[in-house]
Every structure is written in C-alpha cells, then in structure tokens.
C-alpha cells in the first residue's frame, strides 16, 4: 500500500476516534441540552450517528492536513519563517500654534 494512502487511512481512523470522543463529551456534559434531547427522543441514535459521521469528516480532514503539512521540508534561507522585519512607525509630537481667544465678558 502506498505511504500516502496509509497516511490517509490513519488520519481518517484518528479523526473518527476524536469525533467519537468529542460527541461523547457533548452528550455527557449535556452541552445546550443536547444530551437530554437525544435521550428523550426515540430517534436519538440517528442524531448521534450524524454527529459522529459529520464531525468525523471534519476532524479527519483536519488531521490529514496537519500530518501532510508537517511533512514539508525546510526551505533554504533564514530560519524561523519570520521574513524581513518592517520598520515600526513611532509617533512624533508636532507643535501646532493656536491663536489665543479673547473673552469679552
């Protein structure tokens, strides 16, 4: 099996495991009353399955992207990836002449 396919399958498995844990946490902590709502419904298992599947898709994609971007080779040049520093603008006080007001009272 090619290394990239193996990496993808591992990322999907880890993403769905994280999704199952995340969904279990949502239900156990009863976030926004979600746990009570699912337990009170006869079709609550469908909602749990949808949460696991859809969160699994997202977490798998993020995990795969994280692993692929972590495989990048270092570029030549200065390290750190900070680039060239830009000069910082320093505020300077400028005197402004103001005519004195006459009070006529």
**pLDDT the model gives residue 81:** 60
**pLDDT the model gives residue 76:** 63
Q: Is the pLDDT of residue 105 over 70?
A: no
Q: What is the pTM of this model?
A: 0.67
Q: Is the pLDDT of residue 97 over 70?
A: yes
Band (pLDDT 50/70/90 cuts) for residue 80 is low
Q: Provide the percentage of residues in the chain whose pLDDT is more than 90.
A: 72
Answer whether 51's CB lies under 8 Å from 23's CB: yes
For the stretch 27-76, pLDDT in tens is: 999 999 999 999 999 999 999 999 999 999 999 999 999 999 998 876 66
Q: Is the pLDDT of residue 22 over 90?
A: yes
What one-character-per-residue DSSP string does 1-65 give? --HHHHHHHHHHHHHHHHHHHHHHHHHHHTGGGHHHHHHHSTTHHHHHHHHHHHHHHHHHHHHHH
Class of residue 18 by CB neighbours under 10 A (exposed 0-12, middle 13-18, buried 19+): middle
């Amino acid at each position: 099996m090619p290394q990239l396919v193996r990496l993808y399958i591992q990322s999907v498995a880890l993403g769905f495991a994280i999704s199952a844990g995340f969904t279990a946490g949502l239900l156990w902590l009863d976030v926004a009353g979600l746990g009570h709502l699912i337990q009170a419904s006869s079709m609550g298992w469908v909602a749990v399955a949808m949460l696991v599947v859809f969160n699994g898709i997202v977490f798998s994609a993020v995990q795969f992207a994280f692993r692929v971007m972590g495989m990048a080779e270092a570029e030549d040049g200065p390290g750190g990836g900070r680039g060239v520093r830009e000069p910082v603008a320093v505020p300077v006080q400028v005197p402004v002449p103001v005519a004195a007001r006459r009070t006529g009272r």
